[in-house]
């Protein structure tokens, strides 16, 4: 995942001086292992205090750590299914975070889902299509 540091231009937990950079990890149960996600975020040099972790189902967004995000933050998540497993909720939360709260999201295993890139109409259209497809797959896997 060394490529991620170059691809996303991340430096030591802060970007551009005043934007807080966070990583988000979710596993469905307390027994599941979060190491793969943690390794990916550590390779981006995200400080431990800025890595949020929830150990609960992704079917809804009632998650304590997830709610700590605020306007101007940059959130890294390894894959869209770690953000959630419910198609409609992923779509709604993505819109709330990116449009209403002004949070950027970068999905590490899908560079097309990086809200810092492609802010023009075509980029937004492509990202929306990819998000819809991956949200569908995430829910389909859960069911």
Residue positions annotated with a catalytic role: 28
Owner of token pair 């896997």: 141
Q: Please, what's the b/e burial string for 43-60 (b: 16 or more CB within 10 A of its CB; e: otherwise)?
A: ebebeeebbbbbebbbee
| Residue 69 DSSP label | -
CA distance 62 to 109: 24
Tell the residue number behind the tokens 């890595």, with chain if given: 51
């Amino acid at each position: 995942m060394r490529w991620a540091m170059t691809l996303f231009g991340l430096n030591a937990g802060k970007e551009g001086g005043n934007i807080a950079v966070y990583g988000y990890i979710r596993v469905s149960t307390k027994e599941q292992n979060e190491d793969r996600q943690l390794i990916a975020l550590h390779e981006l040099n995200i400080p431990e205090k800025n890595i949020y972790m929830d150990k609960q189902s992704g079917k809804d967004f009632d998650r304590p750590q997830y709610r700590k995000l605020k306007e101007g933050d940059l959130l890294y998540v390894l894959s869209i299914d770690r953000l959630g497993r419910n198609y409609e909720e992923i779509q709604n939360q993505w819109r709330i975070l990116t449009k209403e709260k002004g949070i950027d999201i970068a999905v590490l295993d899908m560079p097309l889902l990086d809200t810092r890139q492609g802010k023009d109409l075509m980029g937004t259209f492509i990202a929306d299509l990819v998000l819809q497809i991956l949200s569908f797959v995430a829910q389909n896997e859960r069911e």
